[in-house]
Amino acid sequence: MTITKINRIRINDSLFDLTLDAEKGIISHIAPSDKSSAGESAGVKDAEGLLYLPATTDMHIHLDKHFLGEPWKPLQPFITLPGQLAFEKAMLASLPTTVSERARRLIDLLLSHGTTKIRTHVDVDPQIGISHLEHVLQVREEYRGIMEIEIVAFPQQGLLRSDSLGVMKEALRAGAEYVGGVDPAGLDRQVDRSLETMFELSAEFNAGVDLHLHDPGHLGLYTISRFADLTVQAGKGGRTAVSHAYCLGQVTEAESGELAKQLKDSNVAIITSVPLDRPMPRVDQLVAEGVRVHVGSDNILDAWSPFGNGDLLARGAKLAEKFGWILDEALLQTYSLISAGKLTPEAGDTASFMLVSAVNTKHAMASAPVREAAFSSGKLVGGKWAEALPKADHAGLMI
């Protein structure tokens, strides 16, 4: 089903009619609604006052590691990181489906929630080589124009610990755009050498860097500070990020505030999954200092956690609730952490958005309502409108 126009969409406090150009993937025209806007016809849908929200962006996810659609997998208690890594490898190797099959499942789920851009970390190591990456690259081509996918070559077993330098180079040659890393102290046991190796790879392949950092307290603080120094030395400002960074919530406010200034000056982003079971970065402090902050789903039903549903709007609501952001200004600020889109669209903008039943953006941010419709580049990709289509139409939903 091709939808060329949607009438009576609520944008801020008024109703508008949006004309979509699916071929160009844009909103080609926006006009105030009038009496003639009510009702539907071929290619025209009546939103009846549903609220417009720009599509969300999930900046930390693992397309290759989840168990969605698989038989239930009992987990084990986390005791040591090396033990958990071995457990995960065994679990993934036991799955009967391919990485590409599982990646499609998760992408479809994300699209249904209104997410149209993701950054995925994809495991590489000397044992599996770049096999996971090859599957994800194939799927990225299948979803091109629908889901924007950034790929991080991720040495989950430790960049130095698993001797993954060679396979990382192979992954970057194959098409990964970011160098990944994990716990330079806790896993690689060589903070400076681990970080310097990441940035050497970044320079060689003109790639960004996105570091998983679970190392705690002042050890983690030192690691982030060195990461920021290397970002400046490499001229990579705006192209690097530290994911998780629990340490920023484990030190004093004065200490994290000092590092926030360095992050701002070096243009290093912090990406959080909003964990409930441990300290997390003081997002309010980071935002106030001008640090770029993004939100990601991270684990979704995998070897690490049975939780997660890929709904960035719900995760943003969790972030706002955790920090007590109840004022309108704070709720609006939260939306900017889960989306790069504009709350007030203009003609010519990419037609990637969702429609929800909410009074306004603040209400939607707090309540995370069901998606009535989700569009990517002018194409219906999820929500109740898509679910209501005849099964025969679903195969061509995103074409």
pLDDT at 389: 81
The whole-number average pLDDT for the span 278-294 is: 97
Decide if 19 contacts 3 (C-beta within 8 A).
no
CA gap 343, 252 in Å, rounded: 35
| pLDDT 10s digits, 104-124 | 999 999 999 999 999 999 999
Residues 45-68, mean pLDDT to the nearest whole number: 97
The reported pTM is: 0.95
Q: In terms of DSSP bridges, do strands 26-32 and 293-295 run parallel, antiparallel, or are they unpaired?
A: unpaired
397 — pLDDT class (breaks 50, 70, 90): low
State residue 299's pLDDT score.
Answer: 87
Residue 197: in which H helix or E strand, if any?
helix 191-205
* DSSP at 155: -
- pLDDT tens digits along 59-98: 999 999 999 999 998 999 888 888 898 999 999 999 999 9
Q: Give 95: exposed, middle or buried? Use CB within 10 Å, 0-12, 13-18, 19+.
A: middle
Given a cut of 70, whether residue 23 has pLDDT beyond it is yes
Write the pLDDT tens digit of every residue in 256-274: 999 999 999 999 999 999 9
Positive or negative, the CA dihedral 308, 312, 317, 320 is positive
pLDDT, position 362: 97
Give, as one character, the DSSP assignment of residue 214.
-
Q: pLDDT (tens digit, 9 = 90+) per residue, 302-329? A: 999 999 999 999 999 999 999 999 999 9
**Does residue 247 carry a pLDDT above 60?**
yes
Question: Could you tell me where the DSSP H helices lie in 206-282?
Answer: 217-234, 253-266
Q: Going by C-beta distance under 8 Å and a sequence separation of 6 or more, which residues neighbour residue 251?
A: 217, 218, 221
pLDDT of 381 higher than 90: yes
pLDDT above 60 (res 156):
yes
Burial group, residue 390, by CB count within 10 angstroms (0-12, 13-18, 19+):
exposed
